[in-house]
Every structure is written in C-alpha cells, then in structure tokens.
Structure 1
C-alpha cells in the first residue's frame, strides 16, 4: 500500500479555506479511497521558527487537529502524530544536516524570502535549516506521496535531493524518494483580494468565521465596473474563482453561462457565494464545538506511538549506516 504524508504548521489559531482545499481536502480524498496508508504530522518544530509562545503553540495545535477532525479526518484511517515527541526526527535532522551543503540551502525559496525581508544576521538558524528537518519528517516514513500546494513543491524536491545524497553516500535506495502530489486546479486558493489566500495578507475566509463575518468578507471582494447586462469573463472575477470550489458541474455551467451571456449581477454571485460558504462552514464549526481537548490528546498519543514505532526502527538502520550503533 502506498503511503501518503502531509504536515501543517500550527502557526495560527484557526485555519481557512486555503488550508482546507490545499491540504485537508487532499487527506480526505486519500482517506476515502481506502488505497493509501495515511499520515499527518504536526509541524510544530517548524512553528518555532515563527512563534515563540508555548501557550499559543499548544492552543493552535489543538485547534488545528480539531479542525481536521471536524472536517472528516478519521484517526482510524489517518495517523495523526506529534514529531516533537519522537526523537528520530531531530536525530535524522542532524545526520542530514551533515551531508547537505550550505550553498544548496541558500537556493531555498523560503530562505530567499526571509532574506528579502531581513538581514542575514537576523534570520535564525532554524529558518535557514528547516527544509532539512522537513526532509527528515518525510523520508523517515518511506513516503510515496506528499500532498502540497504548488508553492510548496520545492520542499518535497529538497527532501528528494537530500535523501538521494544520503543514499549516494551510505547506501543506494535506502531512503524512498517522495513525490509531490499536486492537484493543479487547487494548487493555489485565491483570497478575497485575488492573491493567494493567507493569514499574512488578511484576505482569508476562516473555517470558524461566523455568518456575519462571512457576509462581510464576501461583500468586500472587489469586482469590475461592468454593467449587469454586459458579458463578463468569469475567470477574471475573484468571486467566481472562490465560488467554483463549491459548485457542481451543472451549477458551474449555469453560472459561467450567466457571466458570458450577461444579465448575471455580481451581487447575485456574491449572494450565492455567501450561501455556499455558510452551508460548507456551518457543519465544521458545529462539529468542532463537540470535540474536547482530552479526545484530541488521546488521538494524538495513539498516533504518535504508532509513528514512533515506525521511525525508531528506521533510525536504528540509519545509525548503523553512519556508524552510531556501537
């Protein structure tokens, strides 16, 4: 059975539509197929590069898992675990750091972005090196596929390259080389301003937004100054670009015809988007309120124990290969 692994950083208290369609939806599809061995890890060690408040990290972590569970993730079908409690992640991170060149790491997009916003002296070592930790998170589990957004593809490519370098030095084909799994139609989820949906841009629709907030956000989406009767290109309208995520094929066909023939107002489309969002977000919001912290912690303990058993065996082999097993 092919293995799928994804990770998400608990950097914010609540997730948004971009997180759902860029990550959660993937995991639900893999889970529902019954064809994959599914793993989801909390990238909380990665969170430490951005957030230095322990209570916020704990709170965000609980809310993150709660959101996944409320969205339909089944802990009996998907292993949810905490790598910070599994020593093999940090141990392999060190081993991989010793076979990865600085010049190679400097080509990482995330490092370049950090450098563009700050001086090198003010960038933490963790920010510079976290792609190596991510590689460790992935290759410890002999993963076949890593569901990612288009902008995260490089992380998986780095994991492949680092794993291949280890294999070349110590043992051919020891680490399985993971593949990114990108559904192009959902590679980048637009925010209400047309840019990628992100908390940092404050252009998101949250999975716990109340109905009033959802209404205000849908009304805030900019539209072109085109008369109602004039034909319009739906693909150039950000209201449609968000709405189409929730439309059936027949609904999508009718909406596109309304745009292209003219006569469909932006207000009508915003009204429909509001209805679809309330219909989608409401059940997630309700289900999440019924999931206790204790239930989440029990699920996390069980998943972490399972992941630790797999990764510790792999780490024993790694220690033997590099000469740490005496």
Structure 2
C-alpha cells in the first residue's frame, strides 16, 4: 500500500547542490512508489524580512528547477502552500493548543532570535513550527522526510496531533519521520566546517549557475595542507567535502575515489569534479531552459486543486469537532 508523504521546500534562494542531495533527490526516488505532496513553502518564507517581487521570482524559479531535476507532476502533487487557505486556517487552531514554552524551546527559534536580535524577532519565527504542523496534519501524512535540524519540529507536530486527538477525538494521523539512510552533509566550498547554504553564497554551488561561475567556485574551493586526496573529515575537511561531492556525482565509494586520485593534484581533482558536475546535471540544465510558463502554471493549478480536494475532508472534521460550525 502506498504511503502518503508530505514535504516542502522554501523559495528563499536558487537551488544548490546541498538542496538536491539533501532533499530533492530523495523526493524523486519517493515519487515512484508513494503518494507524495511536494509543497513550495512560500508562507514559511515570510518569517523574515523579504522582497515580494524577489519571493515571486524565486518561487517560480524553484518550481521550474524541481521539474527540470526530475520531479514528475504526473506522479507527484506539486503546489504552492499559499494556494491552499486551509494551511493558515488550521495553523490558528493548532496554535491555540500549543504552549508558548514549547515554541520558545525550539532550537531554530533560539538560533533565529540570536541572529535577528538587533532587528527584532518576528512572531512568524516563533509560530513557524505550528504552521509546519498544520502543513503535515492537514494531509494526514504517514511519513515526513526530515533532516536532523527538523526532527525537533516534527516531534512537536506529533505532540500537537496527540493533544488535539485527546481533546477533540481522533482526527489526525500521527506522522512518522523519514530519515535519509546516508547522513553525509554537503558542506560549504568556502568553509567546509559549515553546511552549504544560500546564506554563504561564495561557498554555495548553485545547479543552474553559468558554467563559468560553477567552475570558479569549484576551483576556489577550500582544501587542506598536504597533497593527499584522502577521506578524513577531522583533519582534511576541505578535501573530504569535495570527495563526498564527487562520490554523489559518480556513485563511486570513497576508497575507490582515493585510489583513483592517488597521485593526482588537488587542482586536477577539482577539474574532474567540475566535469562530472556538468555531466550529471546536463539534462536538467537543458530541460529548465525549455520549460514554458504556461505549462508550469497549469501544473501548479492542478496541484492547487488536488491539494484543496485532499484536505477538505480533514478540515471539515476539524471545524465540526472544535465547535466552529453551528
């Protein structure tokens, strides 16, 4: 029996290698034998200061990037979070059942509070996990793909679901976490001690950048002292990160990579990574340039309709049991 899976990605920057290997590739694999709802989490993108025009552009770019990379709109429901009003509606109801202390204990809230201390912390950052809970519970998802950084939020979602069911009757399924089997993180090319992120653009390898920019970033990637190409994250984090990238691009095990580049310089190794990167994403880069806006908007329209239709039954039950319908 197919499992229902809900996952989402925020349109806060261009798609990079870390996004692809950490989340998108997993969703492409999952779409073959599961009922997958892939949400463009544009409401979540509003939790910090943003430019409306840029958000619109990044949202569209994310959608066409996903389609180019292998998300199949015939197998998956791809939709904008903002296109389904029940997400925000349910978020309010669940927020009234969530304790302030629970939200303040979230690791991400603490980090963001520190980061935006001078500007002031918006309530959206505090309430983010409640909207995430609404996103998931609305679809009665069986599984939710999460990394370690989101595990705490999912556990809160499970607690909110249990609390709601105890108070109002069993409406929500308690979702399970789907943790990727391999846990290699793609680190920043400019600082291999930090995860690759849009917030560090100089070390972020965007999949659809120009060939020149991709080459420059790979060739400038931080390495380590010495000449040996050996996987040793403790003592050689830079070269180890590049080896992980090469591993994913070629599907070769690390010992084989070490043997292959035993007598090769760091520069030549980087050149080979660049070549394999372009080779791996060649079809996706071509497909993205050919996608028509009319076709993309039609896909999102179908996704919107399926999203609303799928969640209507759940929200009707919620409205009834919470006393909001006379």
TM-score norm. by structure 1 comes to: 0.91
* 1:97-117 deviations in Å (ceiling 9; x for gaps): 110000111011111012212
Equivalent position of 1:296 in the other structure: 296
Shift of the 254–200 alpha-carbon distance from structure 1 to 2, 3 Å rule, reads same
- Quote the offset at 1:264 in angstroms: 3.1
CA distance in 2, matches of 1:47, 1:233: 36
* Matched-pair contact (CA < 8 Å) for 1:41–1:80: yes
CA distance in 2, matches of 1:119, 1:324: 38
- Quote the offset at 1:163 in angstroms: 1.2
* Matched-pair contact (CA < 8 Å) for 1:149–1:187: no
Equivalent position of 1:64 in the other structure: 62
Aligned-pair RMSD on alpha carbons?
1.9
**1:88 and 2:86 matched:** yes
* Matched-pair contact (CA < 8 Å) for 1:22–1:148: no
CA distance in 1, matches of 2:183, 2:65: 20
Equivalent position of 1:245 in the other structure: 248
Equivalent position of 1:201 in the other structure: 200
Shift of the 120–164 alpha-carbon distance from structure 1 to 2, 3 Å rule, reads farther
Equivalent position of 2:101 in the other structure: 103
Equivalent position of 1:273 in the other structure: 273
* Matched-pair contact (CA < 8 Å) for 1:21–1:186: no
Equivalent position of 2:143 in the other structure: 145
* 1:81-100 deviations in Å (ceiling 9; x for gaps): 12212221111101001100
Equivalent position of 1:177 in the other structure: 174
CA distance in 2, matches of 1:141, 1:247: 36
CA distance in 2, matches of 1:130, 1:145: 20
CA distance in 1, matches of 2:119, 2:53: 28
How many residues matched?
Answer: 317
CA distance in 2, matches of 1:170, 1:150: 31
* Matched-pair contact (CA < 8 Å) for 2:48–2:122: no
Q: In structure 2, the residue corresponding to 1:285 is in which secondary structure?
A: helix
* Matched-pair contact (CA < 8 Å) for 2:231–2:254: no
* Matched-pair contact (CA < 8 Å) for 1:51–1:57: no
- Quote the offset at 1:197 in angstroms: 0.6
Q: In structure 2, the residue corresponding to 1:185 is in which secondary structure?
A: coil
CA distance in 2, matches of 1:187, 1:264: 24
* 1:20-63 deviations in Å (ceiling 9; x for gaps): 1111101110113xx21011011111111124322212111111
Q: In structure 2, the residue corresponding to 1:314 is in which secondary structure?
A: helix
- Quote the offset at 1:234 in angstroms: 5.0
Shift of the 272–170 alpha-carbon distance from structure 1 to 2, 3 Å rule, reads same
Equivalent position of 2:188 in the other structure: 191
- Quote the offset at 1:186 in angstroms: 4.2
Q: In structure 2, the residue corresponding to 1:10 is in which secondary structure?
A: coil
* 1:257-304 deviations in Å (ceiling 9; x for gaps): 256xx4232223212111111112332221111112221111001111
TM-score norm. by structure 2 comes to: 0.91
The runs of 4+ residues in structure 1 deviating greater than 6 Å are: none
CA distance in 1, matches of 2:49, 2:73: 27
CA distance in 1, matches of 2:227, 2:183: 30
* Matched-pair contact (CA < 8 Å) for 1:207–1:284: no
Q: In structure 1, the residue corresponding to 2:182 is in which secondary structure?
A: helix
Shift of the 280–321 alpha-carbon distance from structure 1 to 2, 3 Å rule, reads same
CA distance in 2, matches of 1:191, 1:180: 26
